[in-house]
Structure 1
Amino acid sequence: MDDAASVRGLAGACVIVAGMSVEPTAWRRPGPTGEQRRNDVFVGVAVAAVAQLNLVLTTSAGYFVLGAPPSRLEQVLWTLAVTLPLAVRRRWPAAVAIVISAAFIVAQVRHSPEQQVSNGALYVSIYTLGAWGRDRRWARWVRIAIIVAMFAWLAIAIGISASDVPEGAFSNAAGPVEPLLATIANGVLLNALFFGFAYLFGETAWISARRRHQLEVQAQELRRLAAEVSEQAVIGERVRIARELHDVVAHHVSVMGVQASATRRVMDRDPAKARTALAAVEQSARTAVDELRRMLNLLRATGDVEERPSGSGVDRLDALVANARDAGLTATLGVYGEPVPLPESLSQAAYRIVQEAVTNTLKHANASVIDVRVRYHAAELEVDVTDDGHGAPPGAHAGVGLGLIGMRERVAAHEGTLEARSRSGGGYRVRARFPLAQTEAVPA
């Protein structure tokens, strides 16, 4: 055996120890795709053909460094045994590495002259086992076993060939190291680098594949999260639209219903009052249409358009109370404390809560009196709506209606609190408290 071409060892062993310190995870690399398998077949056949060509050239040049070669047929068979298994290298990497390594050693024992392409096939088989071996523990120990076997064969080959070194073989030696020792060290160094790179590059390829897999998983997770966020945004927008539609439509339709009922009752005996009620119905209808048109315009807007709650702030509560008064209730509005400037969103939320409370009173309470109070405290805004109706039905749960759900959502959006329950003395109370920032608590 040629010392520089037959054994691949020591440095590779050092790389193996370093590689074993990187413990792989439970991830198993998927097998090769159909296209990769077809490419392997093509590469395996091509390498076997090149090896046969190199065998013809080697024998034609009389380059028999291992000794007298076997028969021509045996040379061809050993060359095919070392190279042709590459056709399935990624499908069965461990089996291919074992077969090629065993065939490589036996071919050298039989003095097969083709070594150059066979060395490359051995390198590729070890690299492939490191890059594609699904069972990492098995792949590691198979490579270690192959390297140890090659090391053992190198030692045997050196022991056999050392006694047959002819006199004058090192007549041109001029270095400081003893010639035979230098030859052995040179062979070991070259083969150590050979095996070391095969092991290292295989591990690197497997780690790279694992990282690609992790990146794909992370990208898929990011896409899933983005889809969830988008879906939540759509749901949130639907809830907001539903809340606005409920507040606007329910209130004005309820007021129109009460006023229409009053018109029907007094139309014959008091035409003037009936006309006043009809005018109130007309005004409520126009207001509802204006609110709906405003919301539709906001929905059609493609840019970031701030919602301007025109006519929907605490400064418009007097009109809301006047509508309740027109609907037949004894309605009062009281403002306590020093009014301060409010953010539009908070002002609108307070208005919508009072609006929903008034609507519920008109629809369900059978009340005659409703009292709306706005209190400006040092650190919070409080709106309080009470009536003298029959309160919540026995066994009813507060917060189950769409209106109460909408009120709770508005209060929660501003980190406030909501109280909605029957009063001990009769009637119903809705009270919401909104915290005010220090910068807001400045007298208007």
Structure 2
Amino acid sequence: MPSWKVEEWRRPGPTAKQRRTDLWVGVSVAAVAVFSLFLLRSAGYLDNERSPVVGEQIFWAVLTTLPLAWRRRAPELVAALISVGFILGQVRFSPEQVVTTYALCAAIYTLGAWGQDRQRARNLRLLIIAVMFGWLTVSYALYHDAVSANLSGSSGELPELWSAIFLGYLQNIVYFAFTYLMGDAAWHAVWRRHQLQRQAEELRAAQAAAAGRAVLDERVRIARELHDVVAHHVSVMGIQASACRRALEKDPAKAAPALIAIEQGARTAVDELHRMLGALRSSEAETDTAPGAGIDRVEEIVERAREAGLEVHFGTYGDPVALPESLSQAAYRIVQESVTNTLKHSGAGTLDLRIRYLADELELDIADDGHGGTGAGRNGMGLIGMRERVAVHNGTLEHGRRGGRGFRVRARLPYQKARTTA
């Protein structure tokens, strides 16, 4: 969503309910203004030889109030009409000011709160206020005698006429400043509410995206675990089945060890699947404590590779240290995937597996004498899984053809030795 600046944002127009409300308000205020006009006439406040006929007086009262029915749909036009009607009503000596004063206030306020073009709304309000003060000045200049006649004397320290004039200016300053600032405050309040709604929508979108990424990450993790768990055992079983088939053709008695290895591999694969699915179904706390394959079980991989017909040279170098469970499990899976690739794709006869405990990192070195391919290519699921596991632990991974014949995988996983106390 766009991030609007304050001056660029356009407030949405009034709703249908708001337009209906404005219509009723405009008609009601106009009716009250006409009623107030008759009260003023009856009380003698408009008893002046220069006052127009009652029909014209009603016209100016309605012109200064009825446009409020469209105040939120056309705030600029309404403010201009009411301002003109307010001044012309006084010029024509039909000053119904009990209601029309509040109508003018509402028009200026609405222009500040609903004006779409902020610069134009600001300029028009300032223009209206300037015209009003100009008219006030002209009125004092033309009718200062009438103002003086209405003063009943005072005991103050300042001259009566000038005190009355400055008081009129002060009242109008407070009146117009309050109206102007309240309109701006209403517009900014709506803008802030819009910003909060926009931010809430962005937050919901971000949460939905995060949830989608979490689902995708979980699917990738499950796919990787299934690949690591199933592919290795099924590959070994396939090789054993092939050996068993050949043995049945030549010497059936020699097929028994291969069948036993297939049976054991199948059971191990099922056990691994049960363990993994159980971890997925369990709660987070239970999953964290669930036992898993670690570096201490690498010899099982070695034995299965030997049963599959590989000549395996396995060695552990350095002083073994206690590894974090996640790092130990990652090391196991890297070795498992490397051996699986050797069995499935390389056509190798010999496998060299070395585990080195260096000063501050664990090194896994797996090499074979096959034809140097992985079968799945550089971006196969197995190599991707290895890279992800190594990256999680800030390690490094090297893989590729060896100088002579074969394929090599070397991973280095940093670790911190546990501190011992005397």
TM-score band w.r.t. shorter chain: over 0.9
Counterpart residue identity of residue 425, structure 1: G
Q: 2:212 aligns with which of 224, 231, 241?
A: 231
Tell me which moved more, 28-37 or 299-308. Answer: 299-308
Instruction: Indicate the residue corresponding to 2:41 in structure 1.
Output: 59
Instruction: Indicate the residue corresponding to 1:400 in structure 2.
Output: 379
Q: 1:319 aligns with which of 262, 278, 300?
A: 300
Conserved 8 A contact 2:147-2:161: no
Moved over 4 A (4+): 65-68
Q: 1:209 aligns with which of 161, 168, 190?
A: 190
Overall identity of the aligned pairs, in %: 55
Conserved 8 A contact 2:112-2:183: yes
Instruction: Indicate the residue corresponding to 1:434 in structure 2.
Output: 413
Instruction: Indicate the residue corresponding to 1:78 in structure 2.
Output: 60
Q: 1:153 aligns with which of 124, 130, 135?
A: 135
Tell me which moved more, 261-270 or 79-88. Answer: 261-270
Q: 2:397 aligns with which of 418, 421, 442?
A: 418
SS of the residue corresponding to residue 400 of structure 1 reads coil
**Deviation for aligned residue 1:298:** 2.0
SS of the residue corresponding to residue 305 of structure 1 reads helix
Conserved 8 A contact 2:109-2:180: yes
Conserved 8 A contact 1:367-1:390: yes
1:104 aligns with 2:86: yes
SS of the residue corresponding to residue 64 of structure 2 reads helix
**Deviation for aligned residue 1:144:** 1.1
Conserved 8 A contact 2:362-2:412: yes
SS of the residue corresponding to residue 11 of structure 2 reads coil
The two structures have a TM-score, normalised by structure 2, of: 0.94
SS of the residue corresponding to residue 59 of structure 1 reads helix
Unaligned runs of 5+ in 1: 1-22
**Deviation for aligned residue 1:175:** 1.0
Instruction: Indicate the residue corresponding to 2:365 in structure 1.
Output: 384
SS of the residue corresponding to residue 215 of structure 2 reads helix
Counterpart residue identity of residue 431, structure 1: R
Conserved 8 A contact 2:7-2:118: no
Unaligned runs of 5+ in 2: none
1:50 aligns with 2:32: yes
Q: Distance in 1 between matches of 2:376 and 2:276?
A: 31
Q: Distance in 2 between matches of 1:142 and 1:170?
A: 35
Give deviations 1:259-297, integer Å, cap 9, x for gaps.
011111112544443111111111111111111111212
Q: Distance in 2 between matches of 1:122 and 1:232?
A: 56
* Pair 1:32–1:301, CA change in 2 (3 A): same
SS of the residue corresponding to residue 383 of structure 1 reads strand
Instruction: Indicate the residue corresponding to 1:141 in structure 2.
Output: 123
Counterpart residue identity of residue 383, structure 2: L
SS of the residue corresponding to residue 373 of structure 1 reads strand
**Deviation for aligned residue 1:381:** 0.1
| Matched residues, number | 417
SS of the residue corresponding to residue 306 of structure 1 reads helix
Instruction: Indicate the residue corresponding to 2:258 in structure 1.
Output: 277
SS of the residue corresponding to residue 381 of structure 1 reads strand
**Deviation for aligned residue 1:187:** 1.0
Counterpart residue identity of residue 330, structure 1: E
Q: Distance in 1 between matches of 2:228 and 2:240?
A: 18
The two structures have a TM-score, normalised by structure 1, of: 0.89
**Deviation for aligned residue 1:233:** 1.1
RMSD: 2.0
Give deviations 1:124-168, integer Å, cap 9, x for gaps.
00011111111111111111111111111111111122134566x
